[in-house]
Structure 1
Amino acid sequence: MRDGIEEDAPEPPEKTHRPRLVYPFEAAPETGSGQAIEVAPGVLWLRQPLGGSLGFINVWAIADGEGWAVVDTGLQTKETSQAWRAAFAGALGGRPVTRVICTHLHPDHVGLAGWIARKFDVRLWMTRLEYFQCRMLVADTGREAPEDGVRFFHAAGWDDDAIENYKARFGGFGKAIYQMPDSYRRLSDGETFRIGDQDWRVVTGQGHSPDHACLWCPDLDVLISGDQVLPRISSNVSVHPTEPDADPLTDWITSLAKVKAAVPDTVLVLPAHNDPFRGLHARIDHLIGGHERGLGRLEGKLSEPKRAVDVFGALFARPIGPDLLGMATGEALAHLNCLIGRGLATRETDGDGVNWYRAAG
C-alpha cells in the first residue's frame, strides 16, 4: 500500500501487504529542539518543524573535518531558524558548517539553505536542474497566475471556484525559502566526493523533482534518501502546468529501479520523513507495485471518457477536497500521461478546452 502521498496527499483505495521494514532506533530526536542522535559514525539525525500532518523533516549533519556538512535544512520559518541556532550551539558543539547540501528544490529541503550558507560563508551543493528550477520558481513569488496555468487546470476539469483559488494562491513558493545563494557547487549523478573521512556517491532520481540527489556512503553503509525513498508514505509525483505533457511517473518508476540496482539492500536508509529504516529493496518494490496497481485500476475506469478530476476514485481512498485538489490533479495526470505513453490510453480535447481520457482500443 502507498500509505499516502507526501505532504498529506490522499491515499490509494486498496490495502495491500506492507513489507516488513526494520526501524533500528527506538527514539527520535525531539523536533525543533536542536538535539541529535548519531545514526552512524559522524552522522547526526536532527528534526526540524513543519506544518501540516507531516510535522517535521529529518535533516542530517555529517562530520567534516573541524565542522559539519549539513544535508537539507527545513522551511524558512522563525521556529526552524531557532531550532538551527539551538543545534549549532548544542548538538553541533559550536563547530562551523562547512557546506550545505540539498537533495532537491522543495521548500522543506532548501528553505534555509541560503541563510545557513551565508551565516557560515560556505557553498550550497545541489544538482544543476534542482538549483536553477528552484531559482525560477522563487522568481514567480508574488506574480499573478499565468494564463497557461489557468488553461491547464481548466483542461483537467476544474470549476471556476477552484481556478479562482489557484489564482489567489499562485506565487507562494518562495515565501518559505530564504534568498538562494547566487552561486552553487553542482552535484552530478555517479560522482564521488569526500565528506570528512568517508567517500559519498551521488545517485540521482527524477519524477518527484527534476534531479533529486541521494547520497550513498558505502563505508558507512548509509543512504541519505531525501524524498526518493520514504518508508511509510510515497512522494508526490505530479504533472505541472509548466510541462503538461510530461511523464514523471515513468521517470519515478525508472529512478526507483535505478536506486535499487545501484545501492545494496544492507544500507541504513535515512529518509526526509518518517524514521530511518532497513529494507531498501523491499520498500522500492512496494512503491513501484503500488503505482502499477494504480495504473491498472485507472485503465479499467477509462472504458468511458473521463476528465482528470473524474478519476480520483481509482487512485485515492478518501474524498478530495479543495486542500488536496491541486496535488491530486497533478498525480492523476501523471498516471494518465503514463498510460498514454504506454499506448494504453488516449486524450482528446473538446470544444471548451477540456481534456477527456479513455482506454486505447
Structure 2
Amino acid sequence: MKQIRFLDVGWTYQALAPKMDAAVKRVLESGWFILGDEVEAFEKEFALYTGAKHCIGCGNGLEALELVLRAAGVGPGDEVLVPSNTFIATWLAVTRTGASIVPVEPVESTYTMDPQKLEAALTPATKAIIPVHLYGQPADMDPIMEFAARHNLFVLTDAAQAHGAVYKGRMSGTLGHAAAFSFYPGKNLGAFGDGGAVTTMDDEIADKVRKIANYGSTEKYVHDSLGFNSRLDEIQAACLRVKLDKLDNWNWTRKTIAAIYLEGLKDTPLVLPVVPEHIQSVWHLFVVRCKDRDALIRHLAENKIEAAIHYPIPPHKQGAYKDMAGLSLPISEAIHREVVSLPMGPHMNEEDARRVVDVIKAFFK
C-alpha cells in the first residue's frame, strides 16, 4: 500500500530538478550571494504576481511581520489586534516590537478573524490590526479595512499561508496596507530553507522596511537608524523564481484535491472547511474538525496516511504567553482541540485524495 504523505517538500525539487540545478549553478557561478540580481528579479516578479507595487525579500515570515510593524511605528505602549487562532509567529512579531497583543476570536466557520469582534477589542492604545489568511483562505478584509479606516489603524495582513489566494478579485498581498509572506519550505511557494517577503503599495513603508532589514542603512556603512539583518538569500530567490512559475498550477492541484475531499466527506460527522463565494482559497491546509481527533489520526496512520494538527495549542495557552493563560477564548480553544489537517499538496493525485476519503468514511462506519 502506498504511503500518502501529509507533505512532500522533496517532491518539488524532483519535479523541477533541471531548472533548480541551473538556477543554483547560476548563483554559484556569479560569485554574488547577498542582495544580488536574483533577489531583485524575484522581488519584481512576486510584486507583479501579487499586484503589489513593492516587494521586499527578507529572512523569514516572522521577520516580515516584525519589519512592517516597526516600519509602521508600532512599539511599546501600542496595542495590536491579533487573531486568537493562528500560528504563534503572528503573536511573536507583535511582542518583539514591545507592543501588546489583544486577541480577537475568529468566525468559527472560516477560522479567520471576526470583523464583528473588533469594536469590543478597540482601546485608545490600538495602533494596528493583523488579520491572518489562515490555511490559505483570506480573512474578510472589506469590513476590517472599513473599521481600520474609521479608527486610523494600520492593517498588516499575515499572508504566510496564502500565496495566490484571492479576495473579491484582489490578490493576497494587496488586501491591507502591507502583507507579510513566508517562504518556509512547506508553504505553497516554499524555498529550500527560510525566506520571507513584504508586499505593499505604500512607498514609505517599502523604503522603511528595506532600511530596517539592512542594518538601518540605505548606503553602505552609513546607519542612520536602528535596524537588523533580514535578507532573502540569493540561492533561495533563484529557486523561488523557478517555483513561482509553477505556483498557479500547483494551487490548482490543491483545489482539485480539496474539491474531492469536500464532496466525498460531506456526509460524514466531520466539520468541513467553509469558503465564501467571494474568496478563492489556495488550500495551504485542508483542515477538518473531529470530536475524536486522536482516534482518526491513528486510523489514518494505520492505513499509511499521514495527518497533522494545525495547531494543537492556541497561542494564549503556550508557555511563552503564560501571562495570558487565564484568558477565556472559547472559540479558539474549541478549534484547537478538534482540528485535523488532511494530506494536501501538489505531490498528491486524485486517486490519493479518493483513498483518503474512503479511509475516513470507513472510520465512521
User: Does the pair score TM above 0.5?
Assistant: no
What's the TM-score once normalised by structure 1's chain length?
0.31
Larger helix proportion of the pair: 2
What's the TM-score once normalised by structure 2's chain length?
0.31
